[in-house]
Amino acid sequence: MDLHVLTNEFEAGDGSFLITIRPNMIWDIEAFDRLTDAMEQYCRVHGGSQTLERWVAQGFWYVPGFICNWTSHPNFPRAFPTTYYETAYRRLDDLAYWYFCGHSGHAEDL
């Protein structure tokens, strides 16, 4: 697993999803998928760990709430159906649950 991708995403680095939504006000599906894929890979590799890395915990805690709050604002341009965003927010919440609880809440991920 490449931690550079997760680090870049959580730190709102160049090309990250957070950078596309915050100053650019664009929901980039490819960047969102890169973010959630990196989060899922981390959970798959570290799901059984008894300790949590602070920087990772901060990202898994912060990212779902920020993305939902920022992109739910009436001034954020929404190019996709409401159900797309609802599913995306649920995906982020599910990944945070997986990270903090040590297991996925979905049978297919176990």
The whole-number pLDDT of residue 55 equals: 96
The whole-number pLDDT of residue 110 equals: 42
Q: CB burial class (10 A; 0-12, 13-18, 19+) of residue 95?
A: buried
Q: Which DSSP string corresponds to 88-109?
A: HHHHHHHHHHHHHHSS-SSGGG
Which mean pLDDT values do the consecutive 10-residue runs of the chain (110 residues) have? 92 96 95 97 89 95 98 95 97 96 67
CA-to-CA dists, residue 71 to 65, 74, 105, angstroms: 10, 8, 25
Q: How many domains does the chain have?
A: 1
Nearest by Cα to 39 from 109, 68, 21, 69: 109
Range of the domain at 95: 3-109
Q: Which residue has the tokens 């929901």?
A: 27
